[in-house]
Amino acid sequence: MLSQYSFLQIIYLFICKLRTFLINSKIRLIRFPIDIRNMSRIDFGKALTTGRGCRLEVVILENNLQEKKLLIFGSNIQLNDYVHITAAEKVILEDNVLIASKVYISDCSHGTYGKFDINDHPDTIPKDRKLYSMPVTIKKNVWIGEGVCVLMGVTIGEGSIIGSNAVVSKDIPSYSIAVGNPAKVIKKFDTNQQKWISV
């Protein structure tokens, strides 16, 4: 594995590994720089690996003060460069999730626009609108492609694949491939035939 890195990259990885150990010994590797907000409210799981420029944040609100951990990682999760995850209620990534670069995952939104039968007025200042949240769960063995957005209230089922630049605004069933904006299932894995079938 080290043969794929230059001498300077090996030094960089060594420094990252040392700094990672000082943050949390259960994490495999954090590539710096990284922005971690409210670290005490994050469960880093075991063997997490991140790329450069990731932002992991927990938003502290009056209704989540009792919850100890709002952003929960399972085991063996890999985040590539510039992944941004925000948790205000609960974001759970189960074991073996692979996330490509520039992915955004959030369980909250400034205001709501028809959801919950509430319609925030467009003349109000966006940052001053009430923060609404619904939990996000990404089940085990999910692969999320480059540039994907996963929005509040979504569950992505086990073993599913989300194609690059998709916007996931509704649940995706297990063993599915979903693409587009909004993301729609285009294939499902047939366990009897042991192959992907177009839908």
Reply yes or no on whether 84 is catalytic. no
Q: Residue 108: beta bridge partners?
A: 133
Sheet with 104-106, strands from edge to edge, namely 34-37, 54-58, 84-87, 104-106, 149-150, 167-168
Cα–Cα separations (whole angstroms), residue 109 to 72, 99, 134, 140, 175? 19, 21, 9, 25, 28
**Short-list 44, 134, 26, 50, CA closest to 88:** 134
Which among 110, 115, 184, 187 is annotated as catalytic? 110
What residues are labeled active site? 110
